[in-house]
Amino acid sequence: MAPTPSLQDVIHLVEADTEDQQPLSRLGVASVLVRNLAEVGDAALGYFVDQARHAGHSWSEIGEALGVSKQAAQQKHTVRLSLGLNTPTFERFTPRARNVLSEAEPIARQWGHRQIATEHLLLALYREPEGVAAQILNESNLPVDKAETAVDARTKRGPGAPKEKLSFSPEAIAAFTGALASALEMGHNYIGTEHLLLGLARGDGQAADILEDAGLRQETLERQVTEKLAGYTQVRRPVKRVTSSTVAKIARAKPGPASKRKPR
């Protein structure tokens, strides 16, 4: 097992990343670094939980491997990106990805639903036509009209949405977790529309079923995303596991653009 970074390693990272020697400046950098370390570590753990789930292991088995109860494992790793139930945080989301999330709520309201589900997120991806996700969907013969027809065939219209802000369904939150895991696997320290698409494909819910029926399984989409991103900037191929170097690289980066030519 790779050695865990020591306290001295973290201190050196903070001092190297701080422009001056002022204690408050270093404290601010340390706060960002520790938060990023926690987020990346949580995402890495979530990646392997996701792999165990896809291998058919129960939450009881996963809880035992983690040293916690079944309920604790299930709760933590279905709301892993949230500060509280159905309240995810989106610091690493690109402006296009955040706009997709904003557009998902009115779509859910149009359908009369009380929560934002994966099918609403899928339809919202088309609201960013220049985004990588929408380009892939349209080029893969799943334009918005076909997606809407597929949603209509699987989902009943609801009685009406409440006036207050809509929460995300457990499946939608799991898709955000999958998006973060996909970004981590690709060595990205941001979450774009392409990662959201991958998160929908690797999770549960109506969106995953619609994508699979259209021949857009996770492996297919990963290949298409890699090819599409290659047109914007050089990216690494998806890896099979999270490496210590990837964790260190992302942990040192502040949330935000990975480069000046960030993919969409």
Residues 20-49 have pLDDT tens digits of 889 999 998 888 888 777 766 776 777 677
Contact between 111 and 158 under an 8 Å Cβ cutoff? The reply is yes
Kindly state the average pLDDT of the residues 47-52.
Answer: 75
Q: Delimit the domains of the chain by residue range.
A: 7-252
Q: Is pLDDT larger for residue 72 or for residue 258? A: 72
Q: Residue holding tokens 């570590």?
A: 41
Give the predicted TM-score (pTM) of the model: 0.59
Give every CB contact of residue 240 below 8 A, 6+ residues apart in sequence. none
191: helix, coil or strand?
Answer: strand
76 falls in which pLDDT band (50, 70, 90)? low
If you average pLDDT over residues 187-211, what whole number do you get? 91
Mean pLDDT calculated for residue range 177-204: 88
The third-level CATH classification (topology) of the domain covering 7-252 is Double Clp-N motif (1.10.1780)
Residue 233 backbone phi and psi in degrees, to 5: -160, 160
105 pLDDT above the threshold of 80: yes
Residue 5 has pLDDT above 90, yes or no: no
Taking a C-beta distance cutoff of 8 angstroms, is the pair 165, 105 a contact?
Answer: yes
Residue scoring higher pLDDT (191 or 260):
191
Length of the chain in residues, anyone? Answer: 264
SS3 content of the chain, % helix, strand, coil (to 5): 60, 5, 40
Check pLDDT > 80 for residue 127.
yes
Amino acid identity, residue 59?
Answer: W
pLDDT of residue 122: 97
